[in-house]
Amino acid sequence: MAEVRTGKAGLCPEHIGLLDTLEELRSKLVRLGLAGDAPRENEWQSLNRGLRCFSRDLEDHMSGEETNFFPVVDWGLGAAESPTRFVLAEHQQIRRILQDIRKVLALSLGVVEDQFWPYFGRLSELLSALTSTLTSHIRSEDHIFFPLGQQILHRRMVDKQIPAQ
């Protein structure tokens, strides 16, 4: 499995938590693969539950950003100039990967022996893709997009408090 750099300097705690959980789930998958035989049903179900839970947490996180934060940036910069459409496109890309992961998990349950490994391989690829996409998304949010949004929020508050002369 390709190693993806996940340096977390300057990232917010919620983002670090998401990346840490994803790393744990990927490690769990690698350990199951290294064990050689197809994992036992309960081990696979445990990974399945962990990934579904992570998928829900990540969806809640993205929905929260879209509801609470993106409108502020759109308001401040005007919808045509706002970078939220790029960030939203990344959310959609992440959602597609999550959907594929859920599909593979649903199809893999109950599959045994040699028939199991193609699902394992596909899930490894998807978790690798999710890690690199989410890491890059989170870095651009914390280093570029959120500081910009905070500047806009700050300006909005100042504008409200100090009437124009």
Q: Which residues bind Fe ion (CB under 5 A)?
A: 65, 141
Of 30, 25, 23, nearest to 7 by C-alpha is: 23
- CA angle centred on 48, ends 116 and 26, rounded to 5°: 85
Shortest Cβ 85–Fe ion spacing (Å)? 13
H helices of 69-115, where? 70-77, 84-108
Shorter beta-carbon distance to Fe ion: residue 58 or 105: 58
Shortest Cβ 138–Fe ion spacing (Å)? 6
Written as six digits, the tokens of 34 are 């290294």
Which residues 6+ apart lie within 8 Å of 139 measured at CB? 11
Shortest Cβ 148–Fe ion spacing (Å)? 14
Shorter beta-carbon distance to Fe ion: residue 29 or 74: 74
Q: Most distant CA pair in the chain: distance in Å?
A: 76
Shortest Cβ 144–Fe ion spacing (Å)? 12
Shorter beta-carbon distance to Fe ion: residue 38 or 134: 134
Shorter beta-carbon distance to Fe ion: residue 74 or 141: 141
Burial of 131 (0-12, 13-18, 19+ CB in 10 A): buried
